[in-house]
Structure 1
Amino acid sequence: MSPRPHFLVLTYPLQGHIAPALRLARRLLAVAPDALVTFSTVAAAHRRMFAEGQDGGDDDDRLELLPFSDGTEGGFSPGGDVAELNAYMASFHASGRRSVGELVDALAARGRPVSRVVYTLLLPWAADIARERGVPSALYWIQPVAVLAIYYHYFHGHAGVVEEHRRDQSFVVELPGLPPLAVGDLPSFLTEATDPSDYFNSVLTTFRDLFDTLDREIPKATVLINAFQELEVTTLAAVGAYDVLPIGPVLPSGDEAGLFKQDDTKYMEWLDTKPAGSVVYVAFGSITVMAKGQLDELLHGLEESGRPYLWVVRKDNKAELADQAAVAEMGDSAARKNGMVVEWCDQVRVLSHAAVGCFVTHCGWNSVLESIACGVPMVGVPRMSDQRMNARLVEHDWRIGVRAEGDGSGVLRAAELRRRVEEVMGDGEAAAEVRCTAAAWKRAVVEALGKGGSSDRNLMAFVESARSGH
């Protein structure tokens, strides 16, 4: 009889990392009925996500939810200075490595030995912990294959040319296996975090450590990708140094825990009252905090579009809208002339609703994948990290959206937002083509995830490798 596979899924405590990691944990349980999964993130995030007494995971004990220590009591709060982020990252790496090692040993002592460690982007030491204990590991890459390829080539001989031209957004960089790319399309950490005084320099250093870790894996590092093969088939060859398995999009299987609490579901009832394909859905993820001037421009653009809209504005941004009528009494949700503002919502439910015709997004990879899976065209408003490259892929490679450009000061003006929304929701031929292409990619997702589809086959192969100990 084959041994029972046990996956330890580890993730950095950001919502954009936690969501795909927890979804993968549940997906592994679904495809392998005999598998065990332990999901782990730092204690502060764990407390926010799971109610007390929920640490046992599921009813039949196949899923456990066990935190590890990052050496802090409250975790890291965005908005601090460079020194605070550097201190947190140092603590996260040192304490996390020690705590996760203890967790792996404790699981083995309880008769639940880990057979495969799976870790997201900012935990390069997880592979070392696994190797020290003779356990295979796999990186779970939660960005596109193209971004993996960019980082790979940056850290393997191409950092110099990027560094030399990092201030010239239009300079074209040639990387093996990729189309010519403007510096402005590259992940922002490669152009804005290279100096030790830069805010995200410790993050870039962690990425460097990550690729050093992958290079030490013998004979080849395994990388699970939250994408599907057909989406980036030509790019996969650009990362041939690794054993890359596209297993996505890994979507939620129902209600899921997260760092943010949802508003009540009145927004779903509101969507029910709108015609098919008429609503503009606007959300910029869990990190971006926008200045008051940008929020005002977005509000004006949405109102002036004349289209109904559902706009997610996190609590930490709501105060910036205080000069708009009745915003001080917004509560959990607020109706506008044409739209509704909420603090957080079930994004996949919203994107799946027939009334939604366009997604104005920061182009975080989870949001892009969810939009593709739901067949919703996008207006990209990228800000940082991989978002700029994601927006390029959406517009130029997959042709399922457009990118909205900021002005000279980086502010997206109301007129530009209106124009771009019309380009994907209007009556013109180009808009119709975008909608048709989005529908085709939605069908491709169904095929990839279905029985015998490319993502299904790759995930099953990964499970079998864990079962066999390879």
Structure 2
Amino acid sequence: MAQAESERMRVVMFPWLAHGHISPYLELAKRLIASASDGHHHLDVVVHLVSTPANLAPLARHQTDRLRLVELHLPVLPDLPPALHTTKGLPARLMPVLKRGVPAVHFATCGAAATAFFIHCLKTDHRPSSAFPFKSISLGGVDEDAKYTALVAVREDSTALVPERDRLPLSLERSSGFVAVKTCADIERKYMDYLSQLLGKEIIPTGPLLVDSGGSEEQRDGGRIMRWLDGEEPGSVVFVSFGSEYFMSERQMAQMARGLELSGVPFLWAVRFPNAEDDARGAARSMPPGFAPARGLVVEGWASQRRILSHPSCGAFLTHCGWSSVLESMAEGVPMVALPLHIDQPLNANLAVELGAAAARVKQERSGEFAAEEVARAMRAAVKGKEGEAARRRARELREVVARNNGDGRQIATLLQRMARLCGKGQAVPN
């Protein structure tokens, strides 16, 4: 076939205003551009990534002629200055409304299991026959699933353009013919199939979209973390982190600190505190008084999660089970200690248990309520118990699965092909 002239395809990406959502969008943008540039698609892809200045400022170094950062300026309100135009405190009325006539694709940054769960629960009338069909993911049956969905997704706001419970279903409904999901078919195939059945749309996995852990940013701590890990025995350390969007209460911090000490296991705890008084309700703003761990290292603020997980001394990951953290843990072959706190995290934790990727789970009386003794028990089981041995074997298997999916350019090529067809472009793209 004769070499065809390249067609330009412009892609607008509009992620939710949170770092945990923007990061996978950024990685997907880079891979779409790279896939289009490999010479086989006859497409010149330009991605416009839209967010507020507060979210885009840290991404400035990623901007190129094909990856353009577009600032969205929200109204400046007394309680919402530009510096806070991010996840925290964003009024519901500022949620975006899709433009008519522009092909749009919903990109789910959480997994297929969690997305299918919420869509099932939001669509069903909760009769006994309407139970979520995967018991391993369910939170305890129809009633418990309905209660949790109502807690997470059915808040009422009289100022909202779209009711809370309708946002996810409506966004998926408006997705043009298919839905992209940050996942691996080898891990979530049955959940992808069920989500496709619920939506009547094709589900296209993008792979895990793992961000390279190399670069100068890893050295901003002066190498202190790596030096500390170098001094520990292989597989002995539990890495403790609860993501970039959740701040623990004082009680949670106290229980976690005591649990880490009770475990007798070396640990590396990456902890964050809110910057503004209204940034997180009831959040702790300092370490518990008197907490001076003999066998651990506490890092406040930034820490390179993948780089820590890949270190030989890292034997387990005590995690909130955010979807990116679950995938990164599997990518590095590190078993998880699951302590889910909210939103999709309990569902991701259940999936990790089903896959054999979780060595233990911290028992909770209610969501977010855990005791120090349970933290210590789960950590010891993960590092020293039979559960940990089995999970480490399974983690090594999953590492190969995730690596294969992360490096498989065919998934991104498939997504690029479908997007091009929506725009009436890329007719030369091979099937």
Q: For the aligned residues, what is the CA RMSD?
A: 3.2
CA contact (8 A) 1:140 1:226 kept: yes
What letter corresponds to residue 89 of structure 1 in structure 2?
Answer: A
Q: Which residue of 2 aligns with 1:245?
A: 204
2:45 to 12, 35, 39: 35
CA contact (8 A) 1:308 1:338 kept: yes
CA contact (8 A) 2:357 2:394 kept: yes
1:55-94 map, 5 Å = 57-58=63-64, 61-72=65-76, 73-74=81-82, 75-76=84-85, 88-90=91-93, 92-93=94-95
Is 2:126 the partner of 1:161?
yes
Query: Cα offset for 1:386?
Result: 0.3
| Cα separation, partners in 2 of 1:76 and 1:89, compared to 1, 3 Å | farther
CA distance in 2, matches of 1:145, 1:246: 9
Q: Which residue of 2 aligns with 1:11?
A: 15
| Cα separation, partners in 2 of 1:186 and 1:364, compared to 1, 3 Å | farther
Query: Cα offset for 1:369?
Result: 1.1
How many residues get paired? 392
Is 2:304 the partner of 1:346?
yes
Query: Cα offset for 1:390?
Result: 0.7
CA contact (8 A) 2:329 2:335 kept: yes
CA distance in 1, matches of 2:253, 2:161: 28
What letter corresponds to residue 154 of structure 2 in structure 1?
Answer: T
Q: Which residue of 1 aligns with 2:112?
A: 145
CA contact (8 A) 1:224 1:247 kept: yes
2:29 to 21, 25, 31: 25
Cα deviations by residue, 1:142-164 (Å, 9 ceiling, x for unpaired): 111112212222333x1x328xx
In percent, how many aligned pairs have the same letter? 28
Cα deviations by residue, 1:317-359 (Å, 9 ceiling, x for unpaired): 6634251257xxxxxxxxx311111122111111111111111
CA distance in 1, matches of 2:161, 2:309: 31
CA distance in 1, matches of 2:34, 2:129: 44
Query: Cα offset for 1:291?
Result: 2.0
Which residues of structure 2 form unaligned runs of 5+? 38-43, 275-282, 425-431
CA distance in 2, matches of 1:45, 1:322: 31
Query: Cα offset for 1:431?
Result: 2.0
CA contact (8 A) 1:186 1:388 kept: no
Query: Cα offset for 1:287?
Result: 2.3
Q: TM (normalized to structure 2)?
A: 0.81
What letter corresponds to residue 311 of structure 1 in structure 2?
Answer: W
CA distance in 2, matches of 1:265, 1:185: 45
Q: Which residue of 1 aligns with 2:181?
A: 225
1:413-452 map, 5 Å = 413-428=371-386, 430-450=387-407
Q: More displaced, 354-363 or 171-180?
A: 171-180
1:191 to 151, 155, 166: 151
| Cα separation, partners in 2 of 1:214 and 1:431, compared to 1, 3 Å | closer
Query: Cα offset for 1:289?
Result: 1.9
Query: Cα offset for 1:396?
Result: 2.5
CA distance in 2, matches of 1:324, 1:462: 53
Query: Cα offset for 1:462?
Result: 1.4
Cα deviations by residue, 1:54-111 (Å, 9 ceiling, x for unpaired): 5x813xx22111211232342357776xxxx5xx120x23xxx4xxxxxxxxxxxxxx
What letter corresponds to residue 341 of structure 2 in structure 1?
Answer: R
| Cα separation, partners in 2 of 1:308 and 1:318, compared to 1, 3 Å | farther
What letter corresponds to residue 414 of structure 2 in structure 1?
Answer: A
Cα deviations by residue, 1:407-460 (Å, 9 ceiling, x for unpaired): 4695322211111112221142x321111111101101122233xx4xx32211
Q: Which residue of 2 aligns with 1:402?
A: 360
CA distance in 2, matches of 1:246, 1:204: 27
Higher relative contact order (CA 8 A, sep 6+): 2
| Cα separation, partners in 2 of 1:172 and 1:309, compared to 1, 3 Å | farther
1:371-390 map, 5 Å = 371-390=329-348
Q: TM (normalized to structure 1)?
A: 0.75
